[in-house]
Chains A and B, each alone.
Chain A
Amino acid sequence: MIVHTPTSEEEACTAIAEAIVRRTPLAIVGGSTKDGIGRPVQHAATLTSAAMTGITLYEPAELVVSARAGTSLHELQRTLAAEGQMLAFEPMEHAALLGSDGEATVGGIVAANISGPRRIAAGACRDSLIGLRFVNGRSEVVKSGGRVMKNVTGLDLVKLLAGSWGTLGFVTEATFKVQPCPQRMATIILEGLDDERAITALSAALGSPYEVTGAAHLPANLDDSPARTVLRLEGFSFSVDHRLAALRSLLRPHGEAALMEGEAAETLWRDVRDVRFLAEPRTRAVWRISTAPSRGPALVAAIARVLDARWFFDWGGGLVWLATDAAGDAGAAAIRAAVATAGGHATLVRAPVEVRAAVDVFEPQSAAVQRLTLGIKHAFDPERILEPGRMYAGV
């Protein structure tokens, strides 16, 4: 297998130009932590951002940072932390769940639009992403957006690239708006609620003015603990104190909330972010379902009636992570039927390659949206060189 390791956009263009001439599909790779997501693709070569690294711009007073695509996420986060700042969208890291080696990169986080628990308050990766440079499937360097926070100049190609899984372009550099790290983080925990009551409690909290930045529910069947409903507050210590008191009072109908701070709370939110509760056993398939929060409990109940499943909720109930038997269709038929009723979409994030070849990994699209998707692919990558078929057949 040929591996192209460009050190510049020019070299990336050359690699793609060569692939166009030879009509050889390219795998687009950063840290390879998410290689196992998507439909299996027969690649003839790999294009990696490994040699395109480094932070190219950081203006803490302007809340903006740019990094080349191969920069490790941890390096970017360390640089921001040194100035008391962070990526607000709290990107998930997939290595634990997928059992992959390597480190997540800026390009990979962008290409997969990866966010974490704070997404409910601070937006997704695509909301923090204000500028991109990429090489399209015509071997051209394209830029979109920029380094300023408000920008409506022309079509927002930045959004299209975010979450396109390498199928529209090879990202070479990304620019994010960043946020100050909170001075303090506090977590409160309600115990023993069933799914329905837990989501009701989370909705009440998220409908309050107390600016909850994490809202998850870990049902009793997840591990040996009793069910835990967890809420996070962040900010200046004075504000956190005020909001803690107000939130505990608001949630009193659901029980007395215990307080958790420090390392234990940080570990808990990292586990939620990285879906560690479902990492084992490794043989199980793992689904990621986005739905309206209040419909989450009924959705999983419908699935659990026909499948042996374990699950938990993030995003106030709107994000369901669910593990089930990887045999057959890995539960695709039952899960997609439940999602069709509740509204939303499901992605098969972990499954053996033969399952991913046989079932739709990403939510199937309506005919009209599929036509647009094919057209957009053609507008960026007419020869279908870049990760062809990773998201959808023919795309």
Chain B
Amino acid sequence: MTAIAFPAPDAGVLARREEILAGLAALLPADALITDEDERRAFETDALTAYRRVPLAVALPSTTEEIAAVLKFCYEHGVRVVPRGAGTSLSGGAIPQEDAIVLGVSKMNRVLAIDYANRTARVEAGITNLAISDAVGAEGFFYAPDPSSQLACTIAGNIAMNSGGAHCLKYGVTTNNLLGVTMVLLDGSVVEIGGEHLDAAGYDLLGLVCGSEGQLGVVTEAVVRILPKAEGARPVLLGFDAIETAGACVAAIIAAGIIPVALEFMDRPAIKVCEAFAHAGYPLDVEAMLIIEVEGADAEIDDMLRRIVAIAEPFGPKALKVSQSEAESTAIWKGRKSAFGAMGRIADYLCMDGTIPTGQLPRVLKRISEICAGYGLGVANIFHAGDGNLHPLVLYDINKPGELEKAEAAGADILKLCVEVGGCLTGEHGVGIEKRDLMRHQFDEVDLAQQMRVRGVFDPGWLLNPAKVFPLEGRVAA
């Protein structure tokens, strides 16, 4: 058994299943409603695969109107709804429950309008993150937030989780790149928030919706900012024989007024596994490695990388490799980008997502090693060093009874540590079910109650993605 509880299914809803399915069938084309158990099973989990629940039914509408009709029906019949993009959530944000329907937006994947003069794109919410960049790439533009899952994940899911990525140090996360949404509220009403202009009017509902994990409504269309691509980008790779030294080097670079477009950190176990997998030319005799990337024209990149190397030199790097070409850059990034896959070859792992003040890095990494060792588990650390977002991979063996539970316990200890040193539970993956029961470590009752009262404005009956974000005990009604 795994540790995270789901609410008991509503027996009344389960008993009315046939009636509910008939009601939904009347609202949707036949191919937009999945009721067969084998087909429903494809939606039983997301990327947090340790938890699975087969939903009551799966609705995959093609229009805002169909989504409005489904939500209105569920609202009137007291049926819970779990919105879903591509199901790539690492925190269990899209995992259903037996008494809920899954409402997926994956069929709504068109680009509706691209406006290069105003640097915006209007898209349906089921489009993948990468498809937006692909659609505008030929004109020299891109959509900036770049979560690792960008090939598969949808903009709907990105909005729900306020997704980030490796380049958010310079370009920000979803909330900084979203200008407008069309959103269906639970009662079926459709609201337009923002548009093609900056800074939507009134209360910042756009900012509120970003990261609300599918609990306020279902976004069906979005207007995003598209940005001109940099002329080029190249990284430098630096290896150090102590984690502290790598951390001090990062601080010195930032103190010199340089904000690289990416600043990635890997510890010895992560380097070792990635090198074995990708043959990226990583140094194997260092405790910490930094990949620092800058953008601009070639001459600008040379100038900036020279500055970075000059700053790093007093820290005595044991390895130093300035990329001179596209091929070298690709090799340096290949190891980092394949980290999660490479790790998956040697062990099962839980990918944590806390954020810490960057100055706390040496202390936190030391404690993480101790915590995992205490549970008899290994750990490898990958870290967005510029913004403090830490991804410890807690390694375990699913075939050994009790190891997943140990890994979960170690993960919880790590996240509590992140909060203790002034950070937070989640930097970019979201709370989902995974971190739901840790929320009281970051927030007190007043903070949580304020959030729940705001949530209640949109969904007083806890029908939208109800098992997520807020601890099941002590929930506040609207």
Q: Which residues of A line the B interface, CB within 8 A?
A: 59-64, 84, 113, 115, 119-120, 123-124, 126-127, 136, 140-144, 146-160, 162-164, 168, 179-183, 200, 203, 206-209, 236, 238-239, 242, 246, 290-294, 315, 318-319, 343-345, 347, 362-363, 365-366, 368-369, 372-373, 375-376, 378-380, 391-392
The B366-388 residues at the A interface (CB cut-off 8 A) are 384, 387-388
In the complex, chain B residues whose CB is within 8 Å of the CB of A156: 162, 175, 207-208, 210-212
In the assembled complex, the Cα of A142 lies from the Cα of B164 at a distance in Å of 26
Are the C-beta atoms of B431 and A123 separated by less than 8 Å?
A: no
Question: Which of the candidate stretches B73-81, B255-263, B392-400 sits at the interface with the other chain?
Answer: B255-263
Are the C-beta atoms of A119 and B429 separated by less than 8 Å?
A: no
Are the C-beta atoms of B198 and A152 separated by less than 8 Å?
A: no
Q: Does B117 contact A (CB under 8 A)?
A: yes
- Between A and B, 13 residue pairs with Cβ closer than 8 Å are A62-B357, A143-B443, A149-B389, A154-B447, A162-B204, A207-B141, A209-B296, A236-B303, A239-B296, A292-B195, A294-B115, A369-B202, A379-B456
In the complex, chain A residues whose CB is within 8 Å of the CB of B257: 84, 180-183, 236
In the complex, chain A residues whose CB is within 8 Å of the CB of B450: 136, 140, 142, 144, 157, 379-380
Select from chain A the residue with minimum beta-carbon distance to B164.
A150
Are the C-beta atoms of B231 and A180 separated by less than 8 Å?
A: no
Q: Does B316 contact A (CB under 8 A)?
A: no
Other A-B pairs, 15, CB within 8 Å; known A155-B211, A293-B117, A379-B456: A126-B204, A147-B422, A152-B426, A153-B424, A153-B439, A160-B207, A180-B259, A203-B118, A238-B303, A239-B303, A242-B299, A294-B117, A344-B197, A369-B205, A391-B202
Select from chain A the residue with minimum beta-carbon distance to B180.
A343
CB distance from A210 to the nearest CB of B (A): 8
The B92-133 residues at the A interface (CB cut-off 8 A) are 115-120
Question: Which of the candidate stretches B186-194, B318-326, B336-344 sits at the interface with the other chain?
Answer: B186-194
In the complex, chain A residues whose CB is within 8 Å of the CB of B239: none
Q: Chain B interface residue count: which class? A: 35 or more
Are the C-beta atoms of B118 and A376 separated by less than 8 Å?
A: no
Q: Does B283 contact A (CB under 8 A)?
A: no
In the complex, chain B residues whose CB is within 8 Å of the CB of A242: 296-297, 299-300
Given the contacts A160-B208, A343-B197, A127 and B118 also touching, CB distance less than 8 Å? no
In the complex, chain A residues whose CB is within 8 Å of the CB of B162: 152, 156
Q: Does B4 contact A (CB under 8 A)?
A: no
Select from chain B the residue with minimum beta-carbon distance to A208.
B228
In order of increasing CB-CB distance, the 10 nearest A-B pairs are A159-B207, A180-B257, A375-B457, A150-B427, A345-B201, A61-B251, A292-B196, A379-B453, A149-B387, A148-B355
In the complex, chain A residues whose CB is within 8 Å of the CB of B258: 180
In the assembled complex, the Cα of A200 lies from the Cα of B228 at a distance in Å of 16
In the assembled complex, the Cα of A144 lies from the Cα of B424 at a distance in Å of 11
Are the C-beta atoms of A206 and B119 separated by less than 8 Å?
A: yes
In the assembled complex, the Cα of A193 lies from the Cα of B305 at a distance in Å of 39
CB distance from B410 to the nearest CB of A (A): 19
In the complex, chain B residues whose CB is within 8 Å of the CB of A239: 296, 300, 303-304
Other-chain contact of A365, B168, B202, B204 (Cβ < 8 Å)? B202
Are the C-beta atoms of B254 and A63 separated by less than 8 Å?
A: yes
In the assembled complex, the Cα of A290 lies from the Cα of B229 at a distance in Å of 25
Are the C-beta atoms of B228 and A154 separated by less than 8 Å?
A: no
Given the contacts A207-B116, A238-B300, A366-B191, A152 and B447 also touching, CB distance less than 8 Å? no
In the assembled complex, the Cα of A208 lies from the Cα of B117 at a distance in Å of 11
CB distance from A229 to the nearest CB of B (A): 15
In the assembled complex, the Cα of A127 lies from the Cα of B169 at a distance in Å of 12
Select from chain B the residue with minimum beta-carbon distance to A119.
B198
Q: Does B464 contact A (CB under 8 A)?
A: no
The B425-444 residues at the A interface (CB cut-off 8 A) are 425-431, 435, 439, 442-443
In the complex, chain B residues whose CB is within 8 Å of the CB of A136: 450
Are the C-beta atoms of B431 and A143 separated by less than 8 Å?
A: no
In the assembled complex, the Cα of A344 lies from the Cα of B192 at a distance in Å of 12
In the complex, chain A residues whose CB is within 8 Å of the CB of B424: 146, 148, 151, 153
In the assembled complex, the Cα of A315 lies from the Cα of B197 at a distance in Å of 10
Q: Does B140 contact A (CB under 8 A)?
A: yes
In the complex, chain B residues whose CB is within 8 Å of the CB of A369: 191-193, 202, 205
CB distance from B179 to the nearest CB of A (A): 9
Are the C-beta atoms of B117 and A207 separated by less than 8 Å?
A: yes
Q: Does B230 contact A (CB under 8 A)?
A: yes
Other-chain contact of A343, B161, B195, B212, B297 (Cβ < 8 Å)? B195
Are the C-beta atoms of A59 and B195 separated by less than 8 Å?
A: no
Other-chain contact of A362, B169, B197, B202 (Cβ < 8 Å)? B202
Given the contacts A61-B359, A150-B384, A155 and B172 also touching, CB distance less than 8 Å? no
Are the C-beta atoms of A376 and B201 separated by less than 8 Å?
A: no
Are the C-beta atoms of A154 and B254 separated by less than 8 Å?
A: no
Are the C-beta atoms of B442 and A153 separated by less than 8 Å?
A: yes
In the assembled complex, the Cα of A160 lies from the Cα of B453 at a distance in Å of 13
Q: Does B185 contact A (CB under 8 A)?
A: yes
Other-chain contact of A159, B175, B231, B439, B451 (Cβ < 8 Å)? B175
Given the contacts A154-B443, A155-B208, A372-B457, A363 and B451 also touching, CB distance less than 8 Å? no
Are the C-beta atoms of A290 and B231 separated by less than 8 Å?
A: no
In the complex, chain A residues whose CB is within 8 Å of the CB of B333: none
In the complex, chain B residues whose CB is within 8 Å of the CB of A64: 357
Are the C-beta atoms of B208 and A209 separated by less than 8 Å?
A: no
Are the C-beta atoms of A59 and B427 separated by less than 8 Å?
A: no
In the assembled complex, the Cα of A266 lies from the Cα of B200 at a distance in Å of 29
In the assembled complex, the Cα of A20 lies from the Cα of B172 at a distance in Å of 40
In the complex, chain A residues whose CB is within 8 Å of the CB of B455: 155
Given the contacts A148-B424, A152-B427, A379-B454, A293 and B389 also touching, CB distance less than 8 Å? no
In the assembled complex, the Cα of A146 lies from the Cα of B355 at a distance in Å of 10
Given the contacts A84-B257, A236-B304, A163 and B359 also touching, CB distance less than 8 Å? no
Other-chain contact of A368, B116, B140, B191 (Cβ < 8 Å)? B191
Select from chain B the residue with minimum beta-carbon distance to A144.
B447
In the assembled complex, the Cα of A282 lies from the Cα of B431 at a distance in Å of 51
In the complex, chain A residues whose CB is within 8 Å of the CB of B116: 207
In the assembled complex, the Cα of A109 lies from the Cα of B191 at a distance in Å of 28
In the complex, chain B residues whose CB is within 8 Å of the CB of A146: 422-424, 442
In the assembled complex, the Cα of A391 lies from the Cα of B297 at a distance in Å of 46
CB distance from A296 to the nearest CB of B (A): 10
